[in-house]
A and B are shown apart, each in its own frame.
Chain A
Amino acid sequence: MNTRREHSVHVVLLALMVSSSALSSVHAQDAQTPPLAYEATSCVMCHSDSDPRNMPPSAHDPVEHFEQDVHRAAGLSCHDCHGGAPEVDVDAPDAKDLAHAASAGFRGRPAPQDVPAFCGRCHSDAAYMSRFDPDVRVDQEQLYATSVHGQKLAEGDVKVANCISCHGRHPGGEMASALAHGITAISDPNGPVHPTQVATTCGRCHSDAAYMKEYGIPTDQQALYERSVHHTQLVEKEDLSAPTCNDCHGNHGARPPGVADLAFVCGTCHGRQAELFRESTMATVFEMNELGECMVCHGNHLIVPPSDAMLVSQGDGDPNEVQRCSDCHTGSDDTGAPIGKAMHDGILALDDKVHGAEEVLADAEAKGMPVSEAEFHLTGATDALIEARVAIHRFDPALVEEPVARGSKVAEEAHAMGEAAIADFYFRHRWLAISLVGIAFVIVSLVLKVRQVDRRLEARRATSGGRDAPA
């Protein structure tokens, strides 16, 4: 009986402890007032309602796509962009009106021309954005206003790209809600603004001839770019420093570079070439004739790997392919073609020497000879070759001659080192053969000597009656 009573007391005490602990935690929650969980907001609850009488299926898209959105990952919720009252009772008959009330700051879905300002509400606010990333840029909206896209949008052209056109994920369809609620991080390799995806993203509009018809600009940029050395480097060789559309045109402030700006644009990466070109007499002539600097010889979207042959041979007439010196310098009294040929011959001679040395060193290495020092020495020649190829951009043969002469000397030295290594290889084999003959001779002599001393020992043992006898 006592045991049962003790048991009942224990149960009551335990229940009291549990209730008091639960009550204290509720008080603690009240004091802290934690933010409303995303899933508990009235926005999500209504827009996830599977009953088509309450919510049409298309209204589910925002919630569905927002699951993968970078803003969702950052802890934002629907009302952070759209405003409204996320805490209304969804069972109330006027729930929608309460949630979407203007008095609650509801902004709804922005019209295309309002999108930059809609996004810029946060993205132009340095104080707010620094909560997520202290180094984040906040000039996108400002830059966008200067872009061709921004200017046309301001003029009322809603076909041009706004923020969500480029930053929203394209899961197959082109629905605005899908784009707007599927914003990805810039670093997301599958996101539309990752360097490897940018050409496709821009091409979605710029390669669509029907869509671009009214603007009167070409629509082959993406196709040309995808054949270029830049695309190969970026996509096939996974070199994220290789340029894509926005590296030359800008991203938020996208616009086509002016003719006179091209050397500066290309020069952001190809600095030495641009510097030499601007120092050359050609820069003035190009400017006078309104020719597009780098683009005249190398093209723009289709930039094929340059070759030494550009300095001499005739082009094939394709305006998208590279231009050769002789394509323009055609006259018999034109000094341009001989200058091109002089630079070409010097570079070709150095190239031959470098390749010759590389072949000899590879042969020596295949023979097991240590040639790392010679290989390192040869890098001086390959560096000089690159220097000479860069130097042509001033169109001054004297500037090309110096690295050619220096590189040729180094290449010849490396070649000689390789030949010495090969000669040493054959010397070692001859030495081995001679040594083995010598060793074989010594071994045969020793074997004969062994037989001789054995015979003598047996003879001594025979004469001494089987007793051992000293040698």
Chain B
Amino acid sequence: MEPRSSSPGPEPDRGSSWGARLGLDLFKSLAEHKTVPRHQHTIWYYMGGMALFLFMVQVATGILLLLYYRPSSTEAYESVQFIMTKVSWGWLVRSLHSISANLLVLVLLVHLGSVYFLRAYRKPREFTWVSGIALFFLFLGFGFSGYLLPWNELAYFATAVGTDIPGAMPGMGEFVVRLLRGGPDVTGATLSRFYGLHVAILPALTTVVMGLHLYQVQLHGMSTPKRARIKGPPMPFVPHFLLRDLVGWFAILGLLITIIVLAPTAPKGALFPFDFLFDPKHLLELGNKADPFSSAAAGIKPEWYFLFMYQALKMIPATVLGLEGEMLGVLAFGVGGLVLVLVPFLDRGASGLPPHPLARAAGSAIIAVGLALAALGTFCMVEMGSTLGIVGGVIAGLWIVVSVVLDRRRRGAESLLFPSLGLLTVLFIVAMTIVGRLS
């Protein structure tokens, strides 16, 4: 009597190669079929890859730093000092982590701006945009939480100021502040929380959201602006686009190590006019250890990418129309963030048209005003800041009006939402500056 076979039948042939057995053929197939459009705006496509490369640098250097970093208020500063002075190549690893984090935010901003101005967020790529914005916020969270980890004077007081801002939120402000700090003040408990956020919570969330983002990119391909001048048939992603990506990656790697080695001896103003925003020497120097009992050192300010918010909140008067100014500012930034997430759903104008001039001008004006505020935040000169704030705001407003007047190619029923928002932002800043100056 022959034993009965329990097998339902012969196993399907998975192929003889390792790639087939590991399921890598799927990726190979995707890579072979993925193409990249070629037109005058193709250069902006490299920003996503550049951000991915810098993220990989962050992960690699972050893992190495984990081997030595100690997340406690008594040891954090000393451990970073140890990494910088005693650990072989520790100075390079920590400096790469710090500088590439800043470059990553810069590249993300450029990436975001290019997608906005090329209107690449429109149907069917709404969720590519939403996941991208979520990633942007997550990286800002990485920046904010990572800033405190060296536990130096600057980081301590900047975090104290930064974590104080949500306290202005009506109703739940106090709760959010305590949640962030792990108590009423910035202490070792805050450091533990920020460390947990930085190395566990945010990376886990980022992995999920980045997977979703890349899946969306793969699913919908790259958006081609309808009026773009096509320079030929799309190029294969592998190897043509990937090789070009690699050129950029190596170039930025060269830039990174050059900054790291030369910045400590760079003369003041060497990066003019960008030195007011991005000061690598300042990023690499540890300064003094945080002392919660000392008075705040002069020149305390957040990372450059939070400066616009910091300065705007500083310039808002204490009360506006009987309401608390800071609360209004926090709410305005909250609404601004929400509008940014909802851009694809709000901009429902006819697809296939170039960006509306007002939308373009509003975006440009917001960038200009953001830069102006960041500059003012750096200079910390209230009087000069007020004057520049008014002048900058008026110029940005005129920019919008002139661009609309000059544009004679308006077609279709474009939504006035974006230009209105841009104009309102400018007017808000100008009004706040004037009220602040008068009061």
Q: Measuring CB to CB, which residues of chain A are less than 8 angstroms from any residue of chain B?
A: 366-370, 372-373, 428-429, 431-432, 435-436, 439-440, 442-443, 446-447, 449-450, 453-454, 457, 461, 466, 468, 470-471
**Contact of B201 with A by CB under 8 A:** no
A470, B250: Cβ atoms closer than 8 Å: no
With A428-B261, A432-B258, A470-B32 as contacts: A446 and B236 at CB distance below 8 Å: no
A470, B81: Cβ atoms closer than 8 Å: no
Interface window among B126-134, B239-247, B354-362: B239-247
A310 to B: closest C-beta gap in Å: 39
Which of B234, B240, B250, B264 is A454 in contact with, Cβ under 8 Å? Answer: B240
Q: Which residues of A contact B235 (CB under 8 A)?
A: 454, 457
Q: Which residues of A contact B251 (CB under 8 A)?
A: 439, 443
Point out which of B81, B84, B261, B265 has the most chain A C-beta atoms below 10 A from its C-beta. B261
For B214-234 the 0/1 string (1 means CB < 8 A from A) is: 000000000000000000011
Seed contacts A366-B265, A432-B261, A450-B240; 11 additional CB < 8 Å A-B pairs: A367-B265, A368-B265, A370-B81, A432-B257, A440-B254, A443-B247, A453-B239, A457-B240, A466-B233, A468-B35, A470-B32
A435, B250: Cβ atoms closer than 8 Å: no
What are 6 pairs between A and B in contact, CB < 8 Å?
A368-B264, A370-B286, A442-B250, A443-B254, A446-B243, A449-B239
Instruction: Tell me the complex Cα distance, A455–B264, Å.
Output: 44
**Contact of B351 with A by CB under 8 A:** no
**Contact of B238 with A by CB under 8 A:** yes
B373 to A: closest C-beta gap in Å: 30
A436, B247: Cβ atoms closer than 8 Å: no
Q: Which residues of A contact B233 (CB under 8 A)?
A: 461, 466, 468
Q: Which of B292-306 contact A (CB under 8 A)?
A: none
Point out which of A370, A435, A454 has the most chain B C-beta atoms below 10 A from its C-beta. A370
Instruction: Tell me the complex Cα distance, A428–B88, Å.
Output: 12
B264, A436: Cβ atoms closer than 8 Å: no
With A432-B257, A457-B236 as contacts: A369 and B264 at CB distance below 8 Å: yes
A368 to B: closest C-beta gap in Å: 2
B82 to A: closest C-beta gap in Å: 10
B254, A446: Cβ atoms closer than 8 Å: no
A471, B258: Cβ atoms closer than 8 Å: no
Instruction: Tell me the complex Cα distance, A437–B253, Å.
Output: 12
**Contact of B281 with A by CB under 8 A:** yes
A450, B247: Cβ atoms closer than 8 Å: yes
Instruction: Tell me the complex Cα distance, A470–B247, Å.
Output: 22
Interface size of B by CB at 8 A reads 30
A447, B247: Cβ atoms closer than 8 Å: yes
Instruction: Tell me the complex Cα distance, A368–B260, Å.
Output: 11
Q: Which residues of A contact B236 (CB under 8 A)?
A: 457, 470-471
A370, B247: Cβ atoms closer than 8 Å: no
Q: Which residues of B contact A431 (CB under 8 A)?
A: 261
A373, B281: Cβ atoms closer than 8 Å: no
A427 to B: closest C-beta gap in Å: 10
Q: Which residues of A contact B253 (CB under 8 A)?
A: 439
Instruction: Tell me the complex Cα distance, A295–B34, Å.
Output: 93
Instruction: Tell me the complex Cα distance, A366–B281, Å.
Output: 12
**Contact of B85 with A by CB under 8 A:** yes
Instruction: Tell me the complex Cα distance, A369–B95, Å.
Output: 13
B258, A436: Cβ atoms closer than 8 Å: yes
B22 to A: closest C-beta gap in Å: 22
Instruction: Tell me the complex Cα distance, A292–B84, Å.
Output: 56
Instruction: Tell me the complex Cα distance, A431–B261, Å.
Output: 9
Instruction: Tell me the complex Cα distance, A372–B332, Å.
Output: 44
* Closest partner residue, chain B, to A371 (CB atom): B85
Q: Which residues of B contact A471 (CB under 8 A)?
A: 32, 236, 238-240
A370, B261: Cβ atoms closer than 8 Å: no
* Closest partner residue, chain A, to B281 (CB atom): A368
A13 to B: closest C-beta gap in Å: 42
Instruction: Tell me the complex Cα distance, A212–B236, Å.
Output: 105
* Closest partner residue, chain A, to B247 (CB atom): A446
B262 to A: closest C-beta gap in Å: 8
Instruction: Tell me the complex Cα distance, A373–B78, Å.
Output: 11
Q: Which residues of A contact B32 (CB under 8 A)?
A: 470-471
Instruction: Tell me the complex Cα distance, A290–B35, Å.
Output: 103
B341 to A: closest C-beta gap in Å: 36
Q: Which residues of A contact B261 (CB under 8 A)?
A: 428-429, 431-432
